Chains A and B, each alone.
Chain A
C-alpha cells in the first residue's frame, strides 16, 4: 500500500492491517505520554483546499503523536488554492520534501491525480475528495463498529472483520463521500450494508452497489441493523430541490425520538435487545437528521468516532511511511541538505 486513495481499491488484508494497527495506536493514545518516535524526521503536509478543521486537526494530532513534522496548508491565505494548478502544487510539495501529503479537495479525484503525478516518493492520503471518497472516515467507522461488537461480546477485536454485521446508512447518499467509502469498505469487511434515502438523494446506478436500498427508513429498521449511521443533510439540498422541506425530510428519514425508541429495542451487536449503535460523521444537525435525544443517547458513538479517527489516521500514516522505505528515507532526511536545490526557495 503506497497511498490511501479510496476504500473501493482497499484489499481485505490491508483494511484489517490498518484496523489492527489502529488498536495499537489507541493503546498509545490512552497512555500518559501519547507519543511514538516512529516518524521522527519525516514530514507530513496537510493540504486542505476545503475547510474541515475537524479532519485536519485529527490528521495533525495523528502525525504529531508519531513524532512527524507537520506542515499545514489551507486553501485560504496560501498559494495552494484555486488558480494554482495541481501540477504546481505537486512541485511545491516536492520542494518541501514532504514524505506524505494529506489532501482534502472539493474536486473528485484530486488525490488520485496527485498520486498519479510523476512523483514517486510521497505517500498521498485522501482526506476527502469532492463527493467521491473519504477513506479514513470509513476506516474509523469500521473500527467503531468492530470495537462495539467486540465489547458487546467481550472479545478482542483484533484480527476480526465485520462479517455478520448489518449496517444501515441513512441520508444524502448521492452527495456523500462518507457513504461511498463506507459502502465499499463495510462490504469488503463482510458486513451487510443497507441504505435509506429519498430517491432524489440516491445516485443513478446505486442498484449495482453491494447494498440493499430502502426508500422507507422504517422498513430498513425492520431489517434489524446492528448500527445506524445518520448522514448530515446539507442546507443547500433543502428548499424543494431534492425534497420538499426539512420538516418532511425529518418526518420521513430523520432519527426522531419515535425511531430512537425503535433503535433502542433492536437486538444490537450483543443480540440481547440492548439497541443498535448510532454513528454520525459529524457535525450533527440536531432536529434535522437526528433528534437531540438521539444525539445524546448512550447508543450514540460520535465521541468514540472522533477518538478512533486519530487512531486510524496514526495507523495509516504509520503503515504508509514506516514500511521498507523507512530506514533509507530516514537517513536521507537526517543527512544535512547536501543538495540545496534552488527549487526549495519556493517553499
Chain B
C-alpha cells in the first residue's frame, strides 16, 4: 500500500489561473443548438464564435487551449449532490474521500455533500474540517461536509452546530442521515437553532418504532416474502410532523430521499401552505420497486426501502412538476461482505454516483417527463440554491464558474460495478443497460474527466492515486 504524499507545491497547481484554457467544440447546452465554449481561469470565458476566436488569440499568445470535441454531446452545469456517503473517516474499507470524489467526478458531479454518519460522526468542527480538507486535497470534486444534528447521531442532544458552521468547512446543512431525528422536541430545537447560522436541517424521515426490524417496504410483496414490513406511514408521519414544526418555528427543512406517494402529497400540501420545505428523491427510487426483493439479493436492500410501481410513478411526476426539488444520490458504498450474506444481516444502501445521470436519462428524459433544462435544475441549480452556494449550480453563461459536464445521451452501456471508481460494488443496476455517458467533467475549468475516464484532479492526482508529473 502506497501512501499519498502531497508535494508542497500542490496547492499552487490548483490555482484557477494556472489551468490550461479549454475549448469545447460543438456541445449542446441544455440540449439546445450546438455551440463552442471557452473555459479560462475557472470561468466560462466565451460562448459561440467568440469562444473559438478567443482560443486563437490565446494560442498566438503562447497559451494554446485544450480542444475537446463534443459534437452530439449535451453540456450541463456540473451536478451537485446533496446526499453522498463518503465513509471517511472510519470506514475507509468501504470508501474514501479520494475514491468517492473520483466516482463523483466520473458521474458528472462537481460538488458533493458528505453525510455525517462517519466514524467518528461529523458532529464537531474537527471532523468536518478534516473531511473538507481531504476533499480539497483530492481535487476531483468539491466536497462540502454535512454536520450531524445530534452528538454521535444518537438523537439525544444537539451537536455543536455553531462551531461547525463557523469552521473552515462552513457547514450549513445539518443531518443525522441514517438516523431520524425522531424526538419531536429535539427536532424543533434543531430547526430553531440553525436559523442562527443560516442553516437547514435535512431529515431522514423514519419513525423508529414503526420500523423496528423492518426489512423492506410493507405491502403485497413483503406479505408474500414473510419479511417484516417498513410501512409508508413511518416516513409520511415524520414528514407531516416536520413540515408543521418548520412552519411553526419559521425554519428551513429539507426532506431526504422521499420514497412514497403519500410523502409527495404531504410535501405538496406543505408547499402550498408556504412552508419552507424542499425535498429530494434518489435515482433508485425513480426506477426500482419492491418487486426486486423477490430475488433476495441484498444489493436491493436500502433505506428507505424500494417501494411500489405506484410510488415510483408519483415520485417521477413530483420531480417533474417541482414538488420534489432535487435528486440526491444517497450513494452508500459497502464492502462486499456486508452484502454477501443473508438479507436480514445485510447492510442497507447502494452506490449511485456513477449511475445517477444514466438513471435520470432513462426515467425522466427518455420518458418525456422532463427536458434537459429541468434536469439541470434538479441536479445542479436547486441543490446549490438549497445550500446557498452562491457560485455553484449557475447557468451556462459567460462569467459563471466553469463547472460543467458533457454527456453523450446516445451511448448505452451495461453497468459493470467492477469498473466503477467507487470502492463499493453494490450497484443495483449491475448487468442493466442504461443510456447516457459522462464524457467530460470540468471542475472550475479543469478537466477532471476526459473521454469518459479520470484525467487529473485539480491537485494533480490521477486515477492510480499518484500525483501527475
- In contact, B226 and A130 (Cβ under 8 angstroms): yes
Knowing A108-B296, A109-B296, A130-B227, the reply to whether A203 touches B222 (Cβ < 8 A) is yes
Most chain B C-beta atoms within 10 Å of own C-beta, residue among A8, A108, A133: A108
Q: Is A160 an interface residue (CB 8 A)?
A: no
| Contact pick for A130, options B221, B337, B340, B344, CB 8 Å | B344
Q: Which of chain B's residues have a CB closer than 8 A to the CB of A175?
A: 226
- Among B215, B218, B222, B340, find the residue whose CB has the most chain A CB atoms closer than 10 A: B340
A residues in contact with B231, CB < 8 Å = 204
* B226–A205 touching, CB < 8 Å: no
Q: Which residue of A lies closest to B345 (CB)?
A: A107
Give 27 pairs: A residue, B residue, CB < 8 Å, sorted on A.
A85-B337, A86-B340, A87-B341, A108-B226, A108-B227, A108-B344, A109-B342, A109-B343, A110-B296, A112-B295, A113-B297, A116-B295, A116-B297, A131-B226, A131-B227, A132-B225, A132-B227, A177-B226, A180-B224, A203-B222, A203-B226, A204-B222, A205-B219, A205-B221, A205-B224, A208-B220, A208-B223
Instruction: Give per-residue flags for A8-24: 1 if the beta carbon is below 8 A from chain B beta carbons, else 0.
Output: 10000000000000000
Asked if B344 and A205 make an inter-chain contact with CB atoms under 8 angstroms apart, the answer reads no
Known: A110-B296, A112-B296, A132-B225. 20 other contacts (CB 8 A): A82-B345, A85-B341, A86-B342, A105-B342, A109-B225, A110-B343, A131-B226, A131-B227, A175-B226, A177-B226, A180-B224, A203-B226, A203-B229, A204-B219, A204-B223, A205-B218, A205-B219, A205-B221, A205-B223, A208-B223
Q: Which of A7-60 contact B (CB under 8 A)?
A: 8
The answer for the CA separation of A110 and B220 in the assembled complex, in Å, is: 20
B205-245: CB near A (< 8 Å → 1, else 0) gives: 00000000001001111111111010100000000000000
Interchain CA distance A87-B297 in the complex, whole Å: 13
Question: How far apart are the CA atoms of A203 and B227 in the complex, in Å?
Answer: 10
A138-176 with Cβ < 8 A to chain B: 175
Closest Cβ of chain A to B310, distance in Å, is 14
In the complex, which residues of chain B have a beta carbon less than 8 angstroms from the beta carbon of A106? Answer: 344
Q: Which residue of B lies closest to A88 (CB)?
A: B340
Query: Quick one: closest B residue to A117, CB to CB?
Result: B340
Contacts of B296 in A (CB 8 A): 108-110, 112-113, 116
Q: Does A71 contact B (CB under 8 A)?
A: no
Least distance between A7 CB and chain B CB atoms (Å): 11
- Give the interface size bracket for A toward B: 20 to 34
| Docked CA distance A206–B222 (Å) | 10
Does A209 touch B at the CB level, under 8 Å? yes
Which residue of the partner chain A has the closest CB to B338? A85
Q: Pick from A85, A109, A130, A206: contact of B223, CB below 8 A.
A: A206
- Output the residue of B219, B220, B229, B342 with the most chain A CB within 10 A: B342
| Per-position binary interface string of chain B over residues 318-348, scored 1 when its CB falls under 8 Å from any chain A CB and 0 otherwise | 0000000000000000000100111111000
Give the shortest distance, in Å, between B216 (CB) and chain A (any CB): 10
CB distance from A110 to the nearest CB of B (A): 5
Of the candidates A107, A177, A203, the one whose C-beta lies within 8 Å of that of B343 is A107
B226 & A180 in contact (Cβ 8 Å cutoff): yes
Cβ of A205 and Cβ of B222 under 8 Å apart? yes
Bound CA–CA A178/B224 (angstroms) = 12
Interface size class on chain B is 20 to 34
- List residues of chain A with CB within 8 A of the CB of B221: 205
User: Which residues 89-148 of A have a CB within 8 angstroms of B?
Assistant: 105-110, 112-113, 116, 130-133
Bound complex: CA A85 to CA B220 (Å): 29
Could you say which of B224, B295, B344 contacts A107, with CB atoms under 8 Å apart? B344
Nearest-Cβ distance from residue B295 to partner chain A, whole angstroms: 7
Closest chain B CB from A182 CB (angstroms): 13
Residues of the B chain whose Cβ atoms lie less than 8 Å from the Cβ of A131: 226-227
**A208 surroundings in chain B (CB, below 8 A):** 220, 223
Of A105, A130, A180, the most chain B CB neighbours within 10 A belong to: A130
Q: Is the beta-carbon distance between B220 and A205 smaller than 8 angstroms?
A: yes
Instruction: Decide yes or no: A86 and B220 within 8 Å by CB, A116-B297, A133-B226 being known contacts.
Output: no
Q: Which chain B residue lies CB-closest to A5?
A: B296
Report the separation of the CA atoms of residues A261 and B335 in the bound assembly, to the nearest whole angstrom. 59
Docked-complex contact B224 and A8, CB < 8 angstroms? yes
B215 nearest CB neighbor, chain A only:
A108
Q: What is the CA–CA distance of A274 and B208 in the complex, to the nearest angstrom?
A: 51
Name the distance in Å between B298's Cβ and chain A's nearest Cβ.
8
Quick check: A204 and B343 within 8 Å, CB to CB? no
B342's contact among A110, A116, A133, A177, by CB below 8 Å, is which?
Answer: A110
B residues less than 8 Å from A180 (CB atoms): 224, 226
Q: Which residue of A lies closest to B340 (CB)?
A: A87
Instruction: Report which residue of A105, A131, A204 has the largest number of chain B beta carbons within 10 angstroms of its beta carbon.
Output: A204
Docked-complex contact A209 and B223, CB < 8 angstroms: yes
Distance between A312 CB and nearest chain B CB, rounded to angstroms: 21
Chain B CB within 10 Å — which of A82, A86, A180, A206 has the most?
A86
Interface-central residue, B224, B226, B343, by most chain A CB under 10 Å? B226
B218 surroundings in chain A (CB, below 8 A): 204-205
Give the chain B neighbours of A107 by CB distance below 8 A.
Answer: 342-345
B341 touches A86 (CB 8 A): yes
Nearest CB on B from A137, distance (A): 14
Residue of B nearest to A109 (CB): B296
Which residue in chain A gives the minimum CB-CB distance to B229?
Answer: A204
Question: What are the residues of chain A within 8 A of B219 when measuring CB–CB?
Answer: 204-205
